[in-house]
């Protein structure tokens, strides 16, 4: 049984999809949750109110563009003031803007790397002092199999997700002496808004040994394990959760 009582988790991009599932799973294990999102106030409030009511935990929403360094700093200051500290950071916020390299706009490369990769750096920096003070912490970065194998049409996204893997290992090494673990999750195809326009599902299923797309809850279960003390000896690791797709 995973136990996150008396822990405060900051989860970016938690207004829907994988982030919302992680917030719910953490709350079901007893954690208080800070739900960060970019713009959809209504969706974030819906996630917050459902979680708070169902699990009787403290849950608050914060509008925060993770690509903006000072916004991340201010938001974490608000979380610390509201919750008394931060114990777990999940860097989940992410976007895609797919195109082949020869047609990809420079602005689309920058937008994706700024949100996906720089966003993780911004949030690790903003939460780092909390972890150092407590001499304990968990950082979980959501990468992708796209960052492991590279996918055509995703020069920006694959690069950002590969960068997250390197950043995870750097943070694992730099924070290890403070008893802070940092790991990455590399999902395959998970059923969310991000993948709803992928096209013919049958084609994807052919390449997935387990013959199904993943559910946000599959990723949330793994994130909860990495947040829990039962994974305290795992750091700098990248765990694929893809039905066997990228093996
Ligand atoms: P999603 O359904 O599109 O949700 C994305 C979330 O990120 C939303 O809450 C969105 O907030 C938030 N967000 C986007 N840009 C942001 C920004 N600049 N600052 C703060 N929040 C921002 O995506 P998902 O499928 O759940 O994906 C979650 C993570 O898993 C991403 O990092 C993605 O790359 C990764 N992943 C997904 C899959 C998959 O198959 N779905 C596979 C591998 C990896 P708003 O709604 O307010 O915009």
Evaluate whether residue 186 is within a structural domain: yes
pLDDT score recorded for residue 200: 78
Evaluate whether residue 47 is within a structural domain: yes
Evaluate whether residue 146 is within a structural domain: yes
Q: Which residues line ligand 1 (CB under 6 A)?
A: 12-13, 15-19, 37-40, 43, 64-67, 92-95, 115, 142, 144, 187, 189-190, 192-195
- Residues 102-117 as b/e (b if ≥16 CB within 10 A, e otherwise) read eebeeebbeebbbbbb
The predicted model gives 235-240 an average pLDDT of 99
Which residue(s) pair with 59 in the sheet? 33
- Tell me, yes or no, if the pTM score tops 0.95: yes
The predicted model gives 65-86 an average pLDDT of 98
Give the domain CATH number at 80.
Answer: 3.40.50.720
Q: Which of 118, 236, 122, 131 is nearest to 184 (CA)?
A: 236
pLDDT of residue 180 exceeding 90, the answer is: yes
Other residues' Cβ atoms within 10 Å of the Cβ of residue 70: 9
- Residues 159-174 as b/e (b if ≥16 CB within 10 A, e otherwise) read bbbbbbbebbbebbee
pLDDT of residue 167 exceeding 80, the answer is: yes
Evaluate whether residue 247 is within a structural domain: no
- Residues 6 or more apart in contact with residue 143 via CB below 8 angstroms: 161, 162, 164, 165, 168, 184, 185, 186, 238
The predicted model gives 181-210 an average pLDDT of 92
Domain count, the chain: 1
The whole-angstrom separation of Cα 35 and Cα 59 is 7
Structural domain boundaries enclosing 92? 8-241
Evaluate whether residue 1 is within a structural domain: no
Catalytic residue among 37, 55, 62, 157: 157
Concerning whether 157 is annotated as a catalytic residue, the answer is: yes
Evaluate whether residue 148 is within a structural domain: yes
């Amino acid at each position: 049984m995973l136990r996150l009582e008396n822990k405060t988790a900051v989860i970016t991009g938690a207004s829907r999809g994988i982030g919302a599932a992680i917030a719910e799973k953490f709350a079901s294990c007893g954690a208080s949750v800070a739900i960060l999102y970019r713009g959809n106030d209504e969706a974030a409030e819906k996630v917050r109110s459902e979680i708070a009511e169902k699990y009787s935990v403290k849950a608050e929403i914060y509008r925060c563009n993770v690509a903006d360094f000072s916004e991340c700093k201010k938001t974490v200051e608000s979380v610390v003031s509201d919750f008394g500290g931060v114990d777990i950071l999940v860097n989940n916020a992410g976007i895609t803007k797919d195109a082949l390299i020869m047609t990809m706009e420079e602005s689309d490369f920058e937008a994706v790397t700024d949100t996906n990769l720089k966003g993780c750096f911004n949030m690790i920096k903003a939460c780092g002092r909390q972890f150092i003070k407590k001499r304990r912490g968990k950082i979980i970065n959501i990468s992708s199999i796209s960052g492991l194998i590279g996918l055509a049409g995703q020069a920006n996204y694959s690069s950002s997700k590969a960068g997250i893997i390197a950043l995870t290992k750097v943070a694992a090494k730099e924070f290890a002496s403070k008893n802070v673990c940092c790991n990455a999750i590399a999902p395959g195809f998970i059923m969310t808004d991000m993948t709803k326009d992928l096209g013919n599902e049958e084609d994807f299923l052919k390449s997935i040994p387990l013959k199904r797309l993943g559910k946000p809850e599959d990723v949330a279960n793994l994130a909860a394990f990495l947040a829990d003390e039962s994974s305290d000896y795992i750091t700098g690791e990248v765990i694929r959760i893809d039905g066997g797709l990228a093996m």
